[in-house]
Amino acid sequence: MTLILGIETSCDETAAALVDDTGKIHAERVLSQTREHAPYGGIVPEIAARSHLAHLEDLVRGTFADAGCGWEAVDAIAATTGPGLIGGVIVGATFAKGAALARGLPFVSVNHLEGHALSARLSDRVPFPYLLLLVSGGHCQLLAVEDVGRYRRFGTTLDDAVGEAFDKVAKLVGLGYPGGPAIEKLARSGNAKRFDLPRPLYGRPGCDFSFAGLKTAVRQLVERTNPADEAAKADIAASFQMAVADTIADRTANAARRFVREFPAGGHLVVAGGVAANQALRMRLQRVAEDAGLAFVAPPLRLCTDNAAMIAWAGLERFARGLVSPLDTACRPRWPLEELAAAAPSHAARPTP
């Protein structure tokens, strides 16, 4: 059995997890910073970085205690080295590198997006290749996942990510942060057909997304709406959520048809990332998958939002292929998956203590 400690600090969750190569999560802890950022309506990078620095060591110690083991049980350490808020990324990566050096353990650099991309292999053992819809606060992409480190992008957002659109619309209608869960909750009591909102790029060829026009349309709608009309707010939330689901389903259907043509051996549509927790979206994507003859897989909700178990698992996948990283690996605020080549194994696999 190979056991890896995973560390995730790319945004506003400080997380640590111990995962083995059978997919067993021995222990995991996630410390959310939602309360710290809520007064600002979004994430403040400096606050996030300081919180990671203040809590990471205790979080790792608690994860070991939960698992009932110590450093001697660990075979390697994996940490997010990008993309993300660079201050937070540096905190987690530096901690992991220091621990690897002190303990004489291999260090595995993990792309945060690859953590999401491979999370369905942790939860459901999905075989390669598969079609991936990655939807989060900062990303909205459709990719063919060919193997670890091998990704072919079919489409991406031309402006806002869908998670960002959820957050901004939530703020417009007077909801708190984070916006995604708040919009989904309010939408349950709303009439999704009351307001006719645009579906950018709907019905057009290709697999790209655009949400800026939809967000602007919601802003204009809110400006025309009585702020005391709570029913109208619920209807706006429901109409917005349906517009998003329609748009994503349309673009994903295009990608599914292309995937089936180009990867006849592939059999799955996977949705991952924080927005993948939205149940209305999951239901629409289930139908898209069925129409394309693909099995639909969405990891458990706790593996959709940022977490260290997915980082540990991505580290395990890379470690099993000999993809160990040097301790001078740079942190990157931007790091597209297409640039993530499965390079040759490093000769610096186990640093000298």
For the stretch 275-298, pLDDT in tens is 999 999 999 999 999 999 999 999
Residue with tokens 């709406």: 225
Mean pLDDT (whole number) for 219-241: 95
> For residue 127, what is the DSSP state?
P
Would you call 19 helix, strand, or coil by DSSP? strand
- The per-residue pLDDT for 346 is 42
Residue 76, C-beta contacts closer than 8 angstroms, at least 6 positions apart: 2, 4, 5, 100, 105, 106, 107, 108, 315, 319, 324
* Domain 3-118+304-339 identical in fold to domain 128-298: yes
| pLDDT tier at 340, thresholds 50, 70, 90 | confident
pTM: 0.92
Segment 43-59 shows an average pLDDT of 95
Exposed (0-12), middle (13-18) or buried (19+): which is 42, by Cβ within 10 Å? middle
Q: State the pLDDT at residue 8.
A: 98
For 11-20, 33-42, 176-185, 247-256, which range has the lowest pLDDT when averaged over its residues? 33-42
State the fold for domain 128-298.
Nucleotidyltransferase; domain 5 (3.30.420)
Q: Which two tokens stand for residue 345?
A: 């194994």
pLDDT over 60 (residue 104): yes
Contact of 157 with 140, CB cutoff 8 Å: yes
CA 266 to chain centre: 22
Q: Which residues contact 226 (CB under 8 A, 6 or more apart)?
A: 232
Mean pLDDT across 221-229: 92
For residues 290 and 296, the answer to whether their CB atoms sit within 8 Å is yes
Does the structure show a pLDDT above 50 at 347?
no
Of the chain, the percentage scoring pLDDT greater than 90 comes to: 86
Flag whether pLDDT at 68 surpasses 90.
yes
Residue 242 has pLDDT above 90, yes or no: yes
Answer whether residue 107 shows pLDDT above 70: yes
Q: How far apart are CA 276 and CA 286, in angstroms?
A: 12
Whether 308 contacts 95, CB under 8 Å: no
Per-residue pLDDT, averaged over 11-17, amounts to 95
pLDDT score of 324 more than 60: yes
CATH class of 3-118+304-339: alpha beta
Q: What is the mean pLDDT of residues 39-50?
A: 88
Q: What is the pLDDT of residue 38?
A: 79
Q: What is the pLDDT of residue 341?
A: 60
Give the start-to-end residue ranges of the domains of the chain.
3-118+304-339, 128-298
Centre a 10 Å sphere on the Cβ of residue 104 and count the other Cβ atoms it contains. Answer: 10
Place of tokens 């021995």: 26
